[in-house]
Structure formats: C-alpha cells, structure tokens
Amino acid sequence: MVKKLYEYRLALQHGGARQGLIVEWDGNFGEIAPLPNFSSETLDEAKKEALLWLRNNTPPTLPSVRFGIACAKRPLRSLRLPLASLGMKAGFSTVKLKIGHLSAREAISYVKEHLGKAHLRLDCNRKWSLEESLFFADHFQRDDFAYLEEPVEPSSLVAFSQITHFPIALDESIHRDWATIPSLKAIVVKPTIIGSLPQVPSRYDLVLSSSYESGLGLLHIASLAEMGIPVGLDTYSALKEDLLIEPIRCSQGYFSWNATHPPIDTSKLSQC
C-alpha cells in the first residue's frame, strides 16, 4: 500500500496564496487544507497529525485531516453538476448574492434588480442588526428567495425567524440548535471545516460549500452532492493556478470535469 504526503502552495488571483497538503493512497488523492481563521486547526497541526497517520497509522481526529484521508480512499470520476453561481452569470439557474457588505437599503435595490432572473440565495454573513434585517425583509415576499443565509447575528436568529418566517440557511459549523429556528430551511456544510457530513433531518436541505480548496478538494466535495442539488463551489475562480491536469469548467450553470489518472500534476508538490 502506497501512502504519501505532499505540500502545495497555489497563487490566488488577487494576491497571496492558498497552502495545504495532498495525501496519496494507492494512486488516489485527497486534500487536507484547513482554512485560516475558520478551521479549528492550523496547517502545521494538520501536517503533524497527517504524518502520524502516514507513519504509525494513527487514526486522525482533526476535521481537515479526516476529510482529506477519507477522500484519498475514493477514486475520482468525471463529474457534471448544476452549480450555484456567485453573482449573476449567463446560464445559471441558482445564484448566490453576497449582500452583508451593503446597508439594508442598498441591498434592497441590488436584490430587486435580480428578482425573477434566477433562483436567489442571499448571504448576509451575520452583518446586519435585527432592525436592519427586518427592514430588508419588509420589502420582499417569503418566496422571493431560496433562503437567506445568516441574516442576523446568532442571538437574533430566533426573533427574525419568528417575525418574518423567511426561509433561513445556517452554517453547520456555527449553529447547532436547529430546532429553535422555526423557518430554518437549509444547513450549509463545509466538509473541510467539519470533517464529514453531519446527520441532517430530512426536513432541511443539505447545501455543500467549499472552503477555498484547490480543484482536487472541490472535486471531492462535488462528488458528495446528489445530482440535481446545486453546490456552492464558485471559490474555484479565486485560484490563479491549480493542481489539476484537466481543469474544472464552470459554464452555463454547470460544474464539469473530465477524469484523468492521476488527476493532479505531482511535479507541483513537495513531498513531506
């Protein structure tokens, strides 16, 4: 059985770099890429644990390491999935609009420009007060959006839900008291952050989202999605370069990739 661990560093479009690890298991590859300021572990901590697994077969406990090793046990296949676009783009039926950086009044005008053009998911990123969120909600109907993601700070979620009954999506890594949110519709899951897929009650939609992984990590997340469920993987556009030999294509509302073996260019990696 061949097991190896590599390091990578990929340039980003707007400066800086994304760093992570690639684990190889008998010709299959998985990605270990804790996200700075969001993951519970650092890259150094993940590397130490991955090396313990590599040398001693010590079971991993850190989320990004568990996810990366689990992915390395599965061969990748060609994929074609509906994609949720970040921003309005031709061909996309599901569009995510980030509005938390706007005032509620600015967001009202911005969102109204896009009503009816696509199935909208709105990401407020917990930036608004309850008062601001209620002001925004007063200008729309509940069925105008698929959901509002993190519309207010956590302490005001229950009140916002009870007052507006607008569909809400929550990040699983931040919120656990799902039953207290009466209009909760979707649970947003970032596998790199939590390590695996949680048990989500059938009354909620499961939404898979990326954490700025390389193309390899995005492919593994996409492979977890059931056909017909849009996946939030538009962070791929943040990469200036990638490890994949065959690039991912995001066009006309679809995320597609043609499998190659191996899937990545190992000459871009440094073995640990």
Using alpha carbons, select from 120, 184, 194, 118 the residue that is nearest to residue 154: 184
Helices 157-164, 130-137: axis angle to 10 degrees equals 20
For residue 130, count CB atoms less than 10 angstroms from its CB and return exposed for 0-12, middle for 13-18, buried for 19 or more: middle
Instruction: Write out the residue limits of the CATH 3.20.20.120 domain(s) in the chain.
Output: 79-257
23-27, 218-222, 231-235 — most confident range: 23-27
Instruction: Write out the residue limits of the CATH 3.30.390.10 domain(s) in the chain.
Output: 3-77+263-271
The CA-atom distances, in angstroms, between 160 and each of 164, 177, 220 are 6, 15, 35
- Choosing from 3, 4, 89, 98, the catalytic residue is 98
Residue 163 is inside which H or E element, if any?
A: helix 157-164
- Choosing from 47, 96, 185, 190, the catalytic residue is 190
| Residue bearing the bigger pLDDT, 245 or 171 | 245
The pLDDT tens digits for 210-226 are 899 999 999 999 888 76
Return the half-sphere exposure (C-beta side, CA atoms, 13 A cut-off) of residue 241. 14
Which pLDDT band, with edges at 50, 70 and 90, does 86 fall under?
A: very low
Q: CA 264, CA 9: separation in Å to the nearest integer?
A: 14
pTM higher than 0.85 for the full model?
yes
CB 50 within 8 Å of CB 68? yes
Is pLDDT of 91 > 50? no
* Catalytic-residue membership of 98: yes
Return the half-sphere exposure (C-beta side, CA atoms, 13 A cut-off) of residue 95. 21
Query: What local confidence, expressed as pLDDT, does residue 143 receive?
Result: 92
Is pLDDT of 11 > 70? yes
Query: What local confidence, expressed as pLDDT, does residue 93 receive?
Result: 65
* Catalytic-residue membership of 190: yes
Using alpha carbons, select from 77, 80, 53 the residue that is nearest to residue 67: 53
For residue 256, count CB atoms less than 10 angstroms from its CB and return exposed for 0-12, middle for 13-18, buried for 19 or more: middle
Choose the CATH number for 3-77+263-271 among 3.40.50.720, 3.20.20.140, 2.160.20.10, 3.30.390.10: 3.30.390.10
Choose the CATH number for 79-257 among 3.30.300.10, 3.30.70.100, 3.20.20.120, 3.40.50.300: 3.20.20.120
Query: What local confidence, expressed as pLDDT, does residue 90 receive?
Result: 42
